[in-house]
Amino acid sequence: MDETCTDLLRFLQESPTPYHAVESALRRLTAVGFSRLDEATSWRGLAPGRYAVIRGGSLLAFVLPPGPARAFRIAGAHTDSPNLRLKSRPEYAKMGYHQIGVEVYGGVILNSWLDRDLGLAGRIVVRQNGELETRLLQVDRPIARIPQLAIHLDREVNDRGLVLHRQEHLPPVLGLTGEDAPSALRSLCARELGVTPDDLLSFDLMLYDLTPPVVGGLSGEFLFSARLDNLAMCHASLGALIAAAEQVREGVPIPVVALFDHEEVGSSSATGAGAPLLPMLLERLVLATGGDRDDYHASLARSLCVSADMAHAVHPNYPERHETRHRPALNAGPVVKLNAQQRYATCGRMASLFDELCRRRGIKAQYYVHRTDLPCGSTIGPITATLLGIPTVDVGSPMLSMHSIREMAGTADPRLMTSALTAFLEHTGGLLPTTVQCDDRSLLGSRRRCPSSSTSWVGRLPREAHRPTIL
């Protein structure tokens, strides 16, 4: 197993929630010289360097070279995964059992959560010395379980399929209790954090499977773990940024990694990809390095984005669920995802660019298009593309069991994807276009100077400005 895969296993294990994922990402970044930047302070005159910004379960990281910020290479992914989350007053007693109320977060494969040893993690707000503090919590013990109904009480389960009612059938059991309203979980959380139960105010807590990530298969070709969608792509993006950081110097596009929370529920939140978080970062970097708002818009016209989110490998038992000629294989490299409905933001030009970057690293890209008669999933790609207008390619490593509590991928793909994303974030001399917005310029070279929105319009409207921009 290569070092990328070994470190991915560690990252998955350390990150049971988006908040923990951001913490483990920050640990990796600070180990190589990144420092945390406060959104609430002025960034004017920001010194060149390596920085990370954290907002809840989202993290942005970038390497600022000397000189003005004038173009960006962005790799995006998401930190959240479908799971079960605690309701705000979760504890109750029923039939002598201590239970908790849970909500379904995102597109969970519900049956995969039955008969699992479940731990509890997230963040809790506590009252300490008159202040409200947010603390991370991880109870790494099997304190909860959702027991499957015995087959003797559900004789048709194998023929008719398992139908789970979200309200009635998902509350886990935590223990045995009398009929009094139990509070043992609240006490346990308070004890773990070293506060009294009364000082424990509100929380964002979720359940997770305790089974550790492992390498499996006859020859170690598989990776079995929770949250591969999409921590595997967060990990690849971080690895790529750390590798690309070495190449950053004055005048090159700024490499940015954007890891967002709340993708699995549509990205509309204060920290999701729908928030003005990434636009805020890019604009503030242009302003901080002496540019103005016109420079900001020009910088967007010079920028490119890769949205990395796991892709569907072909399943040997259900090959008909894939469009023929679009059946990604495990350990066969990054998958470019296309959808005419723009559920994926990829256009032909960005697909070509990504394909070519892969080829130059000795990697062959795979292609995925959803069956026309099935509704296609989506990613953060179309959302950031809508907010910023930056050409985007949606890619991902192939996997099986997506949104199960226990997913599956290949052990060679993390290294291949990290390499492809590094190629994208690194400045590659004249290989990458300053802009792909104008057809006058070839994608991989710059044979002609291109009059486009990437030059300043202040004081002079370009003569060619009436010409349509074709992407």
CB 358 within 8 A of CB 334: yes
Distance CA 416, CA 214 (A): 19
CB 179 within 8 A of CB 185: no
Distance CA 230, CA 104 (A): 18
Q: Which is nearer to Co ion, 204 or 309 (CB)?
A: 309
Hey, which bits of 210-354 come out as E strands? Answer: 214-216, 222-225, 254-260, 304-308, 311-312, 335-338
Place of tokens 């007053």: 89
Q: Which is nearer to Co ion, 204 or 229 (CB)?
A: 229
Q: Which is nearer to Co ion, 229 or 295 (CB)?
A: 229
Q: Which is nearer to Co ion, 76 or 182 (CB)?
A: 76
- Considering the complex, what minimum distance in angstroms separates the CB of residue 396 from Co ion? 8
Token pair belonging to 401 = 């069991």
Residues that bind Co ion (CB under 5 A): 229-230, 309
- Considering the complex, what minimum distance in angstroms separates the CB of residue 21 from Co ion? 13
Burial class (CB in 10 A: 0-12, 13-18, 19+), 232: buried
Strand partners, 86: 102
- Considering the complex, what minimum distance in angstroms separates the CB of residue 183 from Co ion? 36
Q: Which is nearer to Co ion, 283 or 309 (CB)?
A: 309
Residue-by-residue DSSP string for 370-430: --TTS-----SHHHHHHHH---EEEEE-EEESTTSSSEEEESSHHHHHHHHHHHHHS--TT
Q: Which is nearer to Co ion, 309 or 355 (CB)?
A: 309
Q: Which is nearer to Co ion, 99 or 230 (CB)?
A: 230
Q: Which is nearer to Co ion, 309 or 407 (CB)?
A: 309
- Considering the complex, what minimum distance in angstroms separates the CB of residue 233 from Co ion? 8
- Considering the complex, what minimum distance in angstroms separates the CB of residue 272 from Co ion? 13
SS (H, E, C) 179-199: CCCCCHHHHHHHHHHCCCHHH
Q: Which is nearer to Co ion, 79 or 230 (CB)?
A: 230
Question: CB within 8 A of 3, min separation 6: which ones?
Answer: none
- Considering the complex, what minimum distance in angstroms separates the CB of residue 310 from Co ion? 6
- Considering the complex, what minimum distance in angstroms separates the CB of residue 49 from Co ion? 31
CB 206 within 8 A of CB 122: yes
Q: Which is nearer to Co ion, 229 or 283 (CB)?
A: 229
- Considering the complex, what minimum distance in angstroms separates the CB of residue 38 from Co ion? 29
Q: Which is nearer to Co ion, 309 or 394 (CB)?
A: 309
CB 151 within 8 A of CB 81: no
- Considering the complex, what minimum distance in angstroms separates the CB of residue 467 from Co ion? 38
DSSP classification of residue 154: -
- Considering the complex, what minimum distance in angstroms separates the CB of residue 81 from Co ion? 8
Nearest to 416 by CA among 224, 259, 232, 258: 232
Q: 3-class DSSP state for residue 135?
A: strand
- Considering the complex, what minimum distance in angstroms separates the CB of residue 230 from Co ion? 4
Q: 3-class DSSP state for residue 342?
A: coil
- HSE, CB side, 13 Å, CA atoms: give it for residue 414: 29
